[in-house]
Structures are given as C-alpha cells and as structure tokens.
C-alpha cells in the first residue's frame, strides 16, 4: 500500500517551516567567500616563504602552486564530506560540480608545482633538469609525494568525461577513494617541504586544516550512517509496483523525526543484502516523511536499480542523509511552479503535497514520454483536488508542438510565472530546455531551484 495523502497526515513529520531551524546551513556565496579568503591567505603565505617574493619567479610559482594545491585538497574533501550544512545550503549537485572543477584545478596546480620546483632547483644549482629531478626526489617525503602526485593525475584522468562514461559508477567511485591515499602520501612533504618548514605555528594550523576536513568526512560519511542504522533500525516494509520498471519501497524505522527529513530531499540508500550492500544509491523521498515510514520510488535503469527491485521485506537499510536543498526553505516568493520530468517526479510528488502555499498559487507540470509512464496519477489528482492546485500532464513525443517547453508555453500555463519559485527535477536535457525557457519567460535566477538525478 503506498503512503497516501491521508496516511501522511497522521504522524507526518513537521513541515518545512518548522524544520528550517533544525539544521544550520551555509549559502553558496558564503562558501565561495571563505574559500577565496583562504586561497588569498595561502598565496600570501607563499610570498612569505618564497625568496624574492616581489617578483614573479619560478620559486614563487612553485611555492604558491604547491600551497594552493594542498589547501585546495582540504576544500575539496570538505565539500564532499556530506556535512548537512553544506548539503542543505549549497545542494549536492552543485557541490559535485564545484568538486569536479576544483579537482581539475588542483591537478593543474600540482603539475605546475612539480615542474616549477624542479626547474627552479636546476636554475639555482646550475644543473640539468635531470640532475635536479634526482636531487629533488631525495628531499624529505618527496618519493611518497611523487607517488601521491601520480595517483592524483590518474584520478584526474579517470574523472575526465570521456573516461568516466566508460567506467561503471562503482569502479569509478572505488578508484576515486584512492584520493585519500594520495593525500596521505603528500602530507609529510607539505609539512617538511620548504613552504612550511621552520614555521611551526603554520605547520600546526595546516595540520588542523587537514584534521578538520578529514574529520568532517569521518563524521558524516562513516559515523553518521552507522549511527542511523543502529538508532533508526530501518528495514524494507513492503514494495509496491508503480508502473513499468518502477517500484516504490516503503521503509519502516524508529524515531525518524530525529532525522529532520523534508519533502524535496533525498538519502543515499545502501540495502544490506549480499548482492546490494556494496553500492549506495541516491533516491528522493517520494512521499512526505512520516515518523515511522519513508517512501522512495526507484526506476530500474541499470544493474544496481534492477537488484533493488527484487529486495524482500525485512531487508535492513543503511541510509545516509537527508541531503538536498530543494526544500521549502529555498522559497523566495508566494506562488510555486513544480516541474518534473520522468522519474524526477519523486521529490515533486512530496513537495506538491506539503509546500505551505495557497493551492491557487501552486502548479505541478509533469512531463512523461507517454500516459502509461505517469507515476502516482491518482495521488497527484487527489492532492490537486484537495488543495485546489493546478496539475498539468504533458505526455507524448517532444516533436509534438503541444509538448514544447518554451517561454510562451510556460507563461500561458502560469501567467504569474516571474513572481513564482520554480522547483525543477528532470533529466539534464529536459532541465536545460526548461531552464532556458524559464529565463526567457522572465524568471529571476534566484527563484529557480534545481536538482539533477545525475552526479
């Protein structure tokens, strides 16, 4: 039995307004300002430790790129620590994009550091680059740091779009975890190298920075899911067939209100069976959270999701979260337009029921490739009737002009569009089309709240 709108009302976890206070969040702007301030401080530090800092020269370049790379690593680790303040304030998909861009920048900085440091050494000693390379490798921690650098370069290569597409998510993820080994291998060189050697206070501060960011990872990626497993005792309660290749999984647990989950959010789920325990998959809550039950809805798209379809009631579940910033907290104005494409309906279904908006100013636009692919039709129609909200299904081929998502079509459906908040969850292609159309229809960027089902 799916969690119906009626069942949610009894025992449902408080709505977004009350939950806002539960977790402190940091905005993207604050994260960017703090990161930039740190980078400026590190560049100044490089100036202090480099000889002749007032002229751009190879030693200064080597110092600055090395320190910035070392600092950048701590920022990247913290961004992916899954700390709730970041996940809720910035959003998981934006964090992943920043991490990807930052990771590429760090690999470049490491390369610049290696080349500039070796060239500077060769110039200072009047030796060949080959002799300088051998000399440099005998410095404290340099062999380990070189192995670390090679690992960083390899991870940069497998994370490039073309290589990434050829690897399964699991393989890519396991290889990506080697980053922690690369960090450990490079750390002693950072402390003992010429940038920080002889500056004990800075060495302590540098070590604390690393301890802090790795501590965040340990706290939120390792300890939090294990604590949740023990405290909430989540298990699969039952499974409901929703349509071709789509099932809802209803999970039963204890004290779920303590998690402060909200409609619009997702968890990373690890189902503890022999076949599925190795992978954790992100799935959104497809019904408002309840003190004892959570519902997710899973479309079979690959091996992992196909295995999830054959889970049995009673299976233990390790859930990490809640994550995601697409909640009521993000709203700027009064009315709301929810746009869902395909299985992107899952968080929208929960928001459609719970967003504290006057029903007359609430619209759900749901695009599916055919009428048979529409999920939760009865539930959505029930909620629309009950709240007096507008529900629009768009089905059929994209070539049909009636299905086109343009500024004109959106404005015709929702005349007060520029005054509304828009929540969007769809495939990257549909999301890009909708984003362009919304901008042309006059929607201010800050009123668009978007999450992709794709990292």
Ligand X SMILES: Cc1cc2nc3c(=O)[nH]c(=O)nc-3n(C[C@H](O)[C@H](O)[C@H](O)COP(=O)(O)OP(=O)(O)OC[C@H]3O[C@@H](n4cnc5c(N)ncnc54)[C@H](O)[C@@H]3O)c2cc1C
| Sites of contact with ligand X (CB under 6 A) | 92, 168-169, 266, 279-284, 296-299, 301-305, 343, 346, 451, 453-455
CB 342, min distance to ligand X, A: 9
Cβ nearer to ligand X, comparing 27 with 454: 454
Cβ nearer to ligand X, comparing 166 with 402: 166
Cβ nearer to ligand X, comparing 170 with 381: 170
Using Cβ positions, the residue closest to ligand X within the complex turns out to be: 302
Whole-angstrom Cα distance, residue 299 to residue 165? 20
CB 110, min distance to ligand X, A: 26
Cβ nearer to ligand X, comparing 202 with 217: 217
Cβ nearer to ligand X, comparing 305 with 409: 305
- Which letter, b or e, does each residue of 323-336 get, where b requires 16 or more Cβ atoms within 10 Å of its Cβ? bbbbbbbbbeeebb
Based on its alpha-carbon atoms, the radius of gyration of the chain, rounded to whole angstroms, reads 25
CB 23, min distance to ligand X, A: 17
CB 239, min distance to ligand X, A: 14
Cβ nearer to ligand X, comparing 120 with 320: 320
CB 225, min distance to ligand X, A: 14
- 3-class SS letters over the chain: CCCCHHHHHCCECCCHHHHCCCCCCCCHHHHHHHHHHHHHHHHHHHHHHCCCCCCCCHHHHHHHHHHHHHHHHHHHHHHCCCCHHHHHHCCHHHHHHHHHHHHHHHHHHHHHHHHHHHHHHHHHHCCCHHHHHHHHHCCCCHHHHHHHHHHHHHHHHHHCHHHHHHCCHHHHHHHHCCHHHHHHHHHHHHHHCCCCCCCHHHHHHHHHHHHHHHHHHHHHHHHHHHHHHHHHCCEEEEEEEEECCEEEEEEECCCHHHHCCCCCCEEEEEECCCCCCCCCEEEEECCCCECCEEEEEEECCCHHHHHHHCCCCCCEEEEEEEECCCCHHHCCCCCEEEEEEHHHHHHHHHHHHHCCCCHHHEEEEEEECCHHHCCCHHHHHHHHHHHCCEEEEEECCCCCHHHCCCHHHHHHHCCCHHHCEEEEEECHHHHHHHHHHHHHCCCCHHHEEEEECCC
Whole-angstrom Cα distance, residue 302 to residue 280? 14
Hey, what are 63's tokens? 């110092």
Cβ nearer to ligand X, comparing 302 with 444: 302
CB 302, min distance to ligand X, A: 2
Cβ nearer to ligand X, comparing 135 with 303: 303
Tally the residues of the chain: 455
CB 164, min distance to ligand X, A: 8
Whole-angstrom Cα distance, residue 281 to residue 267? 8
Cβ nearer to ligand X, comparing 139 with 300: 300
CB 92, min distance to ligand X, A: 6
Cβ nearer to ligand X, comparing 299 with 331: 299
CB 258, min distance to ligand X, A: 22
CB 36, min distance to ligand X, A: 27
Cβ nearer to ligand X, comparing 186 with 297: 297
CB 159, min distance to ligand X, A: 12
Which residues face 367 on adjacent strands? 341, 394
């Amino acid at each position: 039995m799916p969690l119906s709108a009626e069942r949610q009302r009894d025992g449902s976890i408080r709505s977004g307004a009350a939950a806002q206070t539960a977790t402190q969040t940091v905005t993207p702007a604050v994260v960017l300002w703090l990161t930039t301030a740190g980078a400026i401080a590190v560049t100044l530090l490089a100036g202090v430790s480099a000889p002749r800092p007032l002229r751009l020269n190879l030693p200064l370049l080597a110092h600055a790129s090395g320190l910035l790379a070392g600092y950048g690593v701590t920022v990247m680790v913290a961004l992916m620590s899954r700390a709730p303040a970041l996940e809720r304030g910035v959003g998981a998909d934006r964090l992943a994009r920043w991490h990807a861009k930052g990771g590429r920048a760090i690999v470049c900085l490491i390369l610049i550091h290696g080349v500039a440091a070796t060239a500077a050494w060769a110039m200072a000693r009047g030796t060949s680059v080959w002799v300088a390379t051998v000399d440099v490798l005998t410095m404290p921690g340099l062999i380990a740091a070189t192995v670390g650098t090679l690992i960083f370069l390899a991870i940069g290569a497998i994370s490039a779009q073309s290589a990434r597409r050829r690897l399964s998510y699991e393989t890519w993820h396991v290889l990506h975890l080697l980053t922690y080994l690369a960090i450990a291998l490079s750390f002693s060189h950072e402390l003992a190298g010429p940038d920080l050697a002889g500056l004990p206070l800075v060495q302590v501060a540098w070590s604390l920075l690393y301890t802090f960011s790795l501590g965040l990872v340990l706290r939120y990626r390792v300890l939090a899911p294990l604590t949740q497993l023990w405290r909430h005792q989540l298990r699969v309660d039952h499974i409901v067939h929703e349509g071709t290749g789509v099932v809802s999984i209803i999970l039963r647990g204890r004290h779920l209100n303590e998690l402060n989950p909200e409609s619009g959010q997702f968890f990373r789920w690890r189902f503890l069976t022999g076949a599925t325990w190795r992978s954790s998959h992100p799935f959104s809550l497809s019904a408002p959270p309840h003190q004892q039950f959570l519902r997710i809805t899973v479309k079979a798209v690959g091996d992992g999701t196909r295995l999830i379809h054959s889970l049995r009631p009673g299976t233990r579940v390790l859930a990490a979260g809640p994550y995601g910033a697409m909640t009521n907290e993000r709203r700027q104005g009064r009315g709301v337009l929810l746009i869902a494409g395909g299985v992107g309906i899952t968080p929208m279904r929960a928001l459609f029921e719970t967003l504290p908006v006057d029903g007359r100013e609430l619209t759900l636009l749901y695009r599916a490739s055919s009428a048979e692919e529409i999920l939760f039709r009865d539930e959505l129609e029930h909620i629309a009737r009950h709240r007096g909200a507008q529900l629009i299904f768009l089905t059929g081929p994209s070539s049909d002009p009636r299905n086109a998502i343009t500024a004109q079509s959106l404005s015709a459906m929702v005349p007060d569009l520029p005054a509304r908040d828009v929540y969007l969850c769809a495939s990257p292609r549909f999301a890009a089309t909708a984003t362009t159309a919304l901008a042309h229809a006059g929607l201010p960027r800050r009123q668009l709240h978007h999450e992709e089902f794709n990292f």
